[in-house]
């Protein structure tokens, strides 16, 4: 749930999603759900030569399970807040 919240705070920011098949897509994060499925708008594929069929695609829905990495805008991530939230969630996990 924690990571889901992080992504929610990053909606309308530009992110780069790298998929497990090595395709990297940069776009504006429009929405995210609890499975970390991602919707991107205004997308641009990193290696267009290799994936010419993606040239005309302007937006996409990415299934969470195929994501390897998401590069986030560092200036929009409060790392102290993240660490505190992570500790809090870890404490809740052990209580259950």
Partner 1 sequence: MDATAAPGIQEPFDLIRLSLSERVFVKLRGDRELTGVLHAYDGHMNLILSDVEETILIVDGGEGGKTNGTVNLAKRKMAMLFVRGDGVILVRTSYDLLDAIDLCRRQKIVQKCAKLC
Contact 33, 55 (CB under 8 A): no
CB closer to partner 1 out of 49 and 94: 94
Instruction: Name residues whose C-beta falls within 8 Å of residue 90's C-beta, 6 or more positions apart in sequence.
Output: none
Q: Using the rule CB under 8 A, is 86 a contact of partner 1?
A: yes
Which sign, positive or negative, has the C-alpha torsion 38, 11, 86, 19?
positive
Q: Using the rule CB under 8 A, is 34 a contact of partner 1?
A: no
Nearest approach in angstroms of CB 49 to partner 1 is 18
The whole-angstrom separation of Cα 28 and Cα 81 is: 23
Stretch that binds partner 1, among 23-31, 40-48, 51-59, 64-72 (CB under 8 A): 64-72
Among 49, 53, 56, 65, binds partner 1 (CB under 8 A): 65
Using a 10 angstrom Cβ sphere, with 0-12 exposed, 13-18 middle and 19 or more buried, the burial of residue 29 is buried
Residues contributing to the site for partner 1 (CB under 8 A):
1-3, 6-7, 20, 36, 64-65, 67-74, 77, 79, 82-83, 85-87, 89-90, 93-94
């Amino acid at each position: 749930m924690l990571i889901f919240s992080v992504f929610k705070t990053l909606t309308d920011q530009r992110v780069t999603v790298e998929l497990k098949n090595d395709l990297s897509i940069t776009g504006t994060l429009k929405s995210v759900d609890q499975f970390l499925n991602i919707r991107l708008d205004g997308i641009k594929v990193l290696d267009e030569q290799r994936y010419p069929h993606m040239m005309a695609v302007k937006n996409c829905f990415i299934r969470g399970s195929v994501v390897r990495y998401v590069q986030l805008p560092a200036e929009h991530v409060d790392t102290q807040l993240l660490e505190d939230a992570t500790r809090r969630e870890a404490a809740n996990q052990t209580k259950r």
